[in-house]
A and B are shown apart, each in its own frame.
Chain A
Amino acid sequence: MQAKLKVWRGAPGAAGRYENYDVPFEQGQTVLDGVRWIRVHRDPSLAIRFSCINANACKECMIQVDGKTVYACTTRMTEAEMTLEPLPNKPLVKDLVTEIAPPDERA
C-alpha cells in the first residue's frame, strides 16, 4: 500500500510550504512510522518530536492530521492523501515540531 503524506515544512519567520511524499506502508502502520520512513529514505532534515515511538506514553508527538489534533504514533496511515501540520496554537519550532514544554522548563 502507498500513503500520500502532504507535510508542512518551515521555520519561524519564513513562509512555509507543503512537501508531498509517497510512503509505502503495511496495514496497521502509523503516521509516525510514515514520517520516520521519510526521514530515513528521503530527507533526514524533516523534524518531528517524539520519544517513546509507538507506546503513546511520552505524549510528545501531537500534530495535526487533516486539521485534527492527534498523536502521530497512534493515527494509522491510509491510502488517501493525509495532510500533516504542526499544532496551530503552539509556538512553531520547525516543520512538525512546536514548543510544548511548560514555560518554566524552557532554556
Chain B
Amino acid sequence: MTAVPAKAGAPPGGARKKIRAWMETDVLVIGAGAAGMYAAIAAARGGARVLLVDRSLIGRGGATVMAQMTVAVAVGEEEPDHWEHHLADTLKAGRGLCDPALSQLLCEDGPDCIREMDGWGIGWARRDGHMAQVHAPGHDRKRCVYVDFLNTGPAVSKTLRARVQRMPEIRRVGDLLVTDIAVRDGVCVGAHAVHVSTGRAVPLAAKATIIATGGLTRLYARNSASINMGGDGYALALRAGAELIDMEFVQFFPIGHLAPRLVGMDPIMWDPFRYKLGGRLLNSDGREFLPEAGKYTSARDIATYGILKEVEAGRGSPHGGAWLSFQHCGEAELRSAFGPVIDRLAANGIDLTRQNIEVAPIAHYHMGGIRTDTDMRTSVPHLFAAGEAVGGANGANRLSGNAITEAVTFGRRAGARAAALASQTAMPALASARLDAKRPDLNPAAAIVELQRVMNRDVGPLRTAAGLQRALAHIQGLDVPLPAPHEGLDAEWVDIHDLRNMRLVAECVTRAALAREESRGAHQRDDFPEGDTRWQRRQAIRLEGNTCKLS
C-alpha cells in the first residue's frame, strides 16, 4: 500500500482516488462546530494549510447546530453597552470561579466576531435597521442577538460552513474519528484517527492541533446534546497529558422539554419563547414557585434547583418537572413571535393557547474543560483547544448566550495562534498507531445508556456523597480498552470508542464533584448546601497512569 499524502490546499472537486492512508497539515482542527470552523478560517487567514476533521459531517453535528437561542454580545445596537458590562455579568454568573482573562477574551472579542459573521450574511434579526437584542436572564441590559425563528445555531453553522468551503487552504474531511492525540517527546505532533466508514487507521501529522470537540452533556440520560458530545476532547486532552479544570460544573438547562413527546425541535426551545413572551413556571398547585411574576429572570442554576426541589416536595408535574404556561398569550401574539414554529408545535399536537407543557432540567453545557491560557494553548506544547472544550471562562455557571460567543472568539484566537506557531515548526513525522486491545464482552450501546442513567441520577444537578460514591463505583467497574475496528463501518466499535471516553470523563466529573464539599453554581450538594469561601478555587485533573489525579 502506498501512502498518499493529502494536500490540504487541494482545490475542491479534485480527483479522489481512494481513502488516503495518512494526511499531513500545518494546523489540524478536530471538530467542525462553530469553534472549529472559526478556528479553521482564522488559521487559513494566518497563512496555514488547515485540515478540518469531524467524526460526523462537516458543520452538521456538534452543539452549534442545536443552539436555537441567542448570542450574548456587547454590540450596543439596542441600547448603549460595553464589553466591560458584559464581563461584569459573566463574572457574577460564574459565582467567583471564572478565569477573568478568558472571560474578558469572550466579552471583548465577541462584538468583532458577531459583526464579522454579519458581514458574511448570517442574518441577525433586525429591528428599525439595527440588530435586535433581547434581555436574557443574568444580563444587565438587552444584549442578546439571534436569528429568527429559533434558527441561531443553524445559521451560525451554515454561515461558517459556507465560509470554510470558499477557502482553498482548508481541507474538510468528515466521518473521521480522532481516537488519540499523537504526542512525541511531550509535544503534540497531530492525531490518530479512524475513518469511520471503512475502519481504516488514518494518522494525521500536524504542526499544531486544535481540539474543538465541544462538551460532555451526552454523559446524561436527559440532555440537549448531539450524539457527538460525549466528552471526546476532554479524554483526548487528558490522555495527551493536558490538564482539565472545573469538571464538576455541568450546567443543567432548567426548562428542557419534558412532555408531551416533541420531535423535530431542540428540547431547549422554550427559552426564546420566554425571552419574548415571559411565560409562567408553575408547580402542581398551579403556583409560581420562583420569584418571577411571569417574567423570565431566574439564573439557570437557581431555576434548576427550584424545579427539582418542587419535584422533591411532591409538587412536580406528572412526568417529574414543572408546568410552563403561555396561556396568557393570544394566538396572534404567539404567531407573531414564533411564526412557523407554531405549526411545528401543532404537528406535535401542542396548542399553547389551551395547554401547558411540562419542562425539567436537562444537561446542556459544561463550564469545565481543558485548561488553556488566552492564546488557547494547553499545557501540552503545540496542542490548543477552543470553544466549549475549554474550561474557565464561565466559572461555576454560564451566563445565557455566552456559548456561541465563546465558540467563535476562542476559535478565532486558537486558529490565529496555531497558524503562527505552525509557521515556525517543521512537519513532524507520524507513524501509524495500532489498536490491539481485546474487544470487551458487552453491548456498548447498552452500557452507554446505563452510564447515562447513573450519571443523571447520581451526578446530576443535586448531588450527595453517597450518590457520587455509588456512581464512582459503577464507573470504575467499566474498563473499556479500544480494540481495532472491523473492516467497513463498525457501529459497535464506535460505541466502544465512545464508552471508553465517556467512562473517563464521567470519572473526572464525579471525582471533582465528590471532592467539592460545598454548593456553588451548577454544583449543588444536598449534604453541603452552602457555599464555602475556602472553596473559591478551582480543581484541576491530570491523568497519571490510568488514574485521575485531582489537585
Contacts and interface: CB of A to CB of B under 8 A. Distances in A.
Interface of A: 11-12, 26-30, 36, 39-41, 44-48, 50-60, 71, 73-74, 76, 93-95, 97, 99-101, 103-107
Determine which residue in A50, A104, A107 has the highest number of CB atoms from chain B within 10 A of its CB, and name it: A107
Given A55-B267, A57-B66, A93-B489, A107 B57 contact: no
B265 to A, nearest CB: 6
A95 B225 CA distance: 25
Contacts, number: 131
Interface in B173-209: 173-176, 195, 197-198, 200, 202
Chain B binding surface, main DSSP class: loop
A7 to B, nearest CB: 13
Nearest to B448: A40
B61 A73 contact: no
A58 B261 CA distance: 19
A12 to B, nearest CB: 8
A93 B348 CA distance: 32
Given A44-B443, A107-B202, A94 B491 contact: yes
Contact of A103 (B13, B56, B57): B13
B56 A60 contact: yes
Chain A binding surface, main DSSP class: loop
Interface in B263-299: 263-267
Nearest to A38: B445
A106 B443 CA distance: 29
Of all A-B residue pairs in the complex, the 6 with the closest CB atoms, nearest first, are: A28-B261, A51-B61, A47-B491, A94-B489, A56-B264, A104-B12
B446 interface: yes
B46 interface: no
Contacts of B348: 28
B153 interface: yes
A90 to B, nearest CB: 12
A105 B445 contact: no
Given A51-B227, A106-B174, A40 B58 contact: no
B261 to A, nearest CB: 3
Interface string B1-42: 000000000001110100110000000000000000000000
B65 A106 contact: no
B463 to A, nearest CB: 26
Contacts of A95: 489, 491
A105 B228 contact: no
A56 B226 CA distance: 11
Interface residues of B, number: 49
B488 interface: yes
21 contacts: A28-B348, A30-B263, A39-B491, A44-B443, A47-B491, A51-B61, A52-B65, A52-B227, A54-B265, A55-B264, A55-B265, A55-B266, A55-B267, A57-B266, A60-B60, A74-B264, A76-B263, A95-B491, A101-B175, A104-B14, A107-B202
B263 A59 contact: no
Given A45-B492, A52-B65, A104 B13 contact: yes
B518 to A, nearest CB: 34
B340 interface: no
B137 interface: no
Given A103-B13, A103-B16, A44 B495 contact: yes
Contacts of A106: 16, 173-175
B61 A56 contact: no
Contacts of A74: 263-264
B62 interface: yes
B260 interface: yes
Determine which residue in A30, A46, A51 has the highest number of CB atoms from chain B within 10 A of its CB, and name it: A51
A60 B450 CA distance: 25
B50 to A, nearest CB: 14
Nearest to B11: A104
A51 B263 contact: no
A79 to B, nearest CB: 16
A58 B61 contact: yes
A100 B227 contact: no
Given A28-B263, A73-B264, A100 B57 contact: yes
Given A57-B153, A58-B56, A107 B195 contact: yes
